[in-house]
């Protein structure tokens, strides 16, 4: 899915757009399976009772609330979290009801590094750490899929950006 073009300035294009790694969805899927299995088991236990209809309604309501809270909310959070590198900046957006965003101009990026635990290496993700010329620290970007590829693309975009101070153009337009 391409990043919305209306959020980009003129002449800016998306180099890479990612959602967090699917490992963020492991526990929500686990809880979905637990709630469905437990609800089915409890519904079977009360099936022969005279008050079974009321118990099934209570089980359905409690199960629905748990599924929304433990599965659908994390899924929506995952779906609405975006990490994008454009030709001009690094963009991070997250949130369902309360949206927050962070934009880092490529010209302000000093260093880019990544970290991968053993589990991250097995799953193919990691943490991207960007240091900028800003006084405020930038939080690390966790669970970035293919973090080494993203790291390389970001580094290449920073160094190949012809408009930055490190690559001034000559009068004939060459770098």
pLDDT at 166 over 50: no
CATH of the domain at 130: 2.30.29
State whether 121 and 155 are in the same domain.
Answer: yes
- Work out the pLDDT band at 2, boundaries 50, 70, 90: low
Q: What is the mean pLDDT of the chain?
A: 87
Determine which helix (DSSP H) or strand (DSSP E) holds 144, and give its type and residue range.
strand 141-145
pLDDT of residue 7: 76
Considering its fold, how many domains does the chain have in total? 2
Confidence of residue 5 (pLDDT cuts 50, 70, 90): low
Tokens of 140: 């690390």
Residue 155 inside a domain? The answer is yes
Query: For residue 62, what are the domain limits?
Result: 25-77
Mean pLDDT of 140-152: 93
pLDDT at 175 over 70: no
Residues 117 and 154 occupy one common structural domain: yes
**Tell me, what's the pLDDT at 171?**
44
Whether 12 is covered by a domain: the verdict is no
Number of C-beta neighbours around residue 79 at 10 A: 13
Task: Report if residue 173 sits inside a domain.
Answer: no
Residues 6+ apart with CB under 8 A from 107: 161, 163, 164, 165
Q: Are 142 and 127 in contact (CB under 8 A)?
A: yes
Query: Does any domain span residue 13?
Result: no
How much is the average pLDDT of 95-110?
89
At residue 150 the predicted structure's pLDDT band, cuts being 50, 70 and 90, is: very high
pLDDT given at position 170: 42
Supply the pLDDT for residue 123: 94
32 and 51 both lie in a single domain: yes
CB 90 within 8 A of CB 110: no
Res. 6: pLDDT tops 90: no
Do 89 and 156 fall into the same domain?
A: yes
Q: Do residues 82 and 92 make contact, with C-beta atoms less than 8 angstroms apart?
A: yes
Claim to verify: residue 67 and residue 94 sit in the same structural domain: no
CA distances from 11 to 8, 86, 131, 145 (A): 8, 10, 25, 27
Higher pLDDT, 35 or 174: 35
pTM of the model: 0.77
CB within 8 Å of 97: residues ≥ 6 apart: none
* Residue whose structure tokens are 């967090």: 20
């Amino acid at each position: 899915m391409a990043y919305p073009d209306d959020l980009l300035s003129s002449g800016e294009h998306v180099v890479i757009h990612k959602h967090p790694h699917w490992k963020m969805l492991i526990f929500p899927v686990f809880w979905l399976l637990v709630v469905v299995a437990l609800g089915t088991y409890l519904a079977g236990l009360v099936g022969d009772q005279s008050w079974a209809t009321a118990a099934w309604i209570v089980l359905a309501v409690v199960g629905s609330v748990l599924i929304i809270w433990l599965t659908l909310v994390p899924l929506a959070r995952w779906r609405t979290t975006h990490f994008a590198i454009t030709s001009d900046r690094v963009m991070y957006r997250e949130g369902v009801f309360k949206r927050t965003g962070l934009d880092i101009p490529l010209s302000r990026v000093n260093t880019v590094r990544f970290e991968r635990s053993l589990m991250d290496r097995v799953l193919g993700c990691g943490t991207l750490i960007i240091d900028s010329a800003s006084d405020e620290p930038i939080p690390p970007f966790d669970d970035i899929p293919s973090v080494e590829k993203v790291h390389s693309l970001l580094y290449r975009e920073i160094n190949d950006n012809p408009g930055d101070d490190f690559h001034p153009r000559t009068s004939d337009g060459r770098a």
